[in-house]
Amino acid sequence: MENSENKYHIPVMLNECLEGLNINPDGVYVDVTFGGGGHSKAIYEQLSPKGKLIVFDQDPDAKKNAWEAPNFFFVAANFAFLSNHLRLLGIKKVDGILADLGVSSHQFDEETRGFSIRANAPLDMRMNKNGEVSAYTVVNEYEEYALTKLFRTFGELSNARKVAGEIVKVRASKKIKTTNDLMEALGKCAPKFKDHKFFAQVFQAIRIEVNTEIEVLERFLEQTEECIAENGRLVVMSYHSLEDRLVKNYMKRGSIHGEITKDFFGNVLKPFTEINRHPIIPQEEEIELNTRARSAKLRIAERNVDK
């Protein structure tokens, strides 16, 4: 494991995640967002030789951080396919699943990937480098109504229609090829003194669309019921309200969209019970050391016993 030590990704709320998983050394655990392996290494160190750790990551760069061990399994796939891959490994139930959503520090810092507003780079934003749709595709080929919808829904922009209109107007004369091109095209739309937040929301909206992040999260959450054993834990860390709302709904109400189903006696039918009613947020000291932690919200739930 020594050769995988690097600054690829500083794990956010590491101790809180480990406590949330309530690790049994002989248990089976899954980290569906391996990245730099920071959370995974800490989980693995708490396992006995009988325990197992399965990790998922669709980014080829992440595999460089994996290590060789008989009870460690790297799955080069999107975690939307969680249950299929566990089945292929012969694993029926796991004792805990961790998901650290969003973009890894490495992906932000790798300037050529186009995730960051801090560096000029080709419009890409694909977490899976083999993905067919890139940020270039979205910005230069999507219809104006589709751009308006994604900026309003995924970017939560109040001026979504104006942003989409400006992109369509600019690209009519020349293609928008780089992150700087996009920011220049939208200069008129950025609120004074709040331009950094505005561009972060624009990039977030495009990134979510490129990587179908909301759809992936929904598919993942719906599979956790069948994959996690009774009294097992689901630990999810999100970084924006769209994700957090889905996670909250699923843990609290048993449905990603918040519908409640009750039994004959009025009890809410749901597969999990929240461990923490309100999300856990990082301490100020951690935010100072790692700015990525600033917007993190951690939710933990325990798999109910089937009746």
Q: Judge whether residue 107 has pLDDT over 60.
A: no
Bridge partner list, 298: 237, 280
Q: Identify the three-state secondary structure at position 24.
A: coil
Q: pLDDT-derived band of residue 105, with 50, 70 and 90 as boundaries?
A: low
The whole-number average pLDDT for the span 222-226 is 96
Please tell me what DSSP assigns to residue 122. B
Please tell me what DSSP assigns to residue 304. P
Q: Higher model confidence: residue 183 or residue 8?
A: 183
Long-range contact pairs involving 170-176 (C-beta distance under 8 Å, separation at least 24): 171/139, 171/140, 175/140, 176/123, 176/136, 176/139, 176/140
C-alpha torsion sign, points 274, 53, 218, 223: negative
Q: Judge whether residue 103 has pLDDT over 80.
A: no
pLDDT confidence of residue 291: 84
Q: How many CB atoms lie within 10 A of CB 195?
A: 15
Q: pLDDT-derived band of residue 2, with 50, 70 and 90 as boundaries?
A: very low
Determine whether domain 2-105+213-303 maps to CATH 3.40.50.150: yes
The whole-number average pLDDT for the span 273-287 is 94
Write phi, then psi, for 302 (nearest 5 degrees). Answer: -110, 135
Q: Higher model confidence: residue 106 or residue 208?
A: 208
Please tell me what DSSP assigns to residue 96. E
pLDDT confidence of residue 138: 97
Write phi, then psi, for 231 (nearest 5 degrees). Answer: 70, 5
Reported as type and span, the H/E element at residue 219 is helix 213-227
Q: Of the candidates 266, 268, 265, which has an alpha carbon nearest to the alpha carbon of residue 250? A: 268
Q: Which residue has the tokens 């995730």?
A: 115
pLDDT confidence of residue 112: 62
Looking at every residue in the chain, the average pLDDT score rounds to: 91
Q: Give tens-digit pLDDT for 119-138.
A: 788 899 898 877 889 999 99
Please report, rounded to a whole number, the percentage of residues in the chain having pLDDT higher than 70: 93
What letters, b where the CB count within 10 A reaches 16 and e where it falls short, cover 37-53? bbbbbbbbeebeeebbb
Distance CA 236, CA 224 (A): 11
Longest dimension (CA), the chain: 64
Q: Judge whether residue 219 has pLDDT over 80.
A: yes
pTM of the entire structure?
A: 0.90
Q: Higher model confidence: residue 253 or residue 113?
A: 253
**Amino acid, res. 133:** V
Please report, rounded to a whole number, the percentage of residues in the chain having pLDDT higher than 90: 73
Q: Judge whether residue 109 has pLDDT over 60.
A: no
- CA angle at 244 for the pair 92 and 249, rounded to the nearest 5°: 65
Q: Give tens-digit pLDDT for 142-157.
A: 999 999 999 999 999 9
pLDDT confidence of residue 306: 81
Q: Which residue has the tokens 């998922």?
A: 56
Show the tokens assigned to 121: 């780079």
Q: pLDDT-derived band of residue 86, with 50, 70 and 90 as boundaries?
A: very high
Q: Higher model confidence: residue 30 or residue 257?
A: 30
Please tell me what DSSP assigns to residue 79. G
pLDDT confidence of residue 104: 60
Q: Give tens-digit pLDDT for 5-45.
A: 444 567 999 999 999 999 999 999 999 999 889 999 999 99
Segments making up each domain of the chain, as ranges: 2-105+213-303, 129-210
pLDDT confidence of residue 111: 61
pLDDT confidence of residue 106: 55
Show the tokens assigned to 185: 């095209």
pLDDT confidence of residue 108: 55
The region of weakest confidence among 22-26, 263-267, 272-276, 279-283 is 263-267
Helices and strands (H, E) in the chain, number of each type: 12, 7
Rounded-to-10 torsion of CA 194, 199, 204, 210? 160
129-210 CATH choice from 2.60.40.10, 1.10.150.170, 3.10.690.10, 3.40.50.720: 1.10.150.170
Say how many residues make up the chain.
307
Show the tokens assigned to 135: 């940020």
Q: Judge whether residue 290 has pLDDT over 60.
A: yes
Q: Judge whether residue 277 has pLDDT over 70.
A: yes
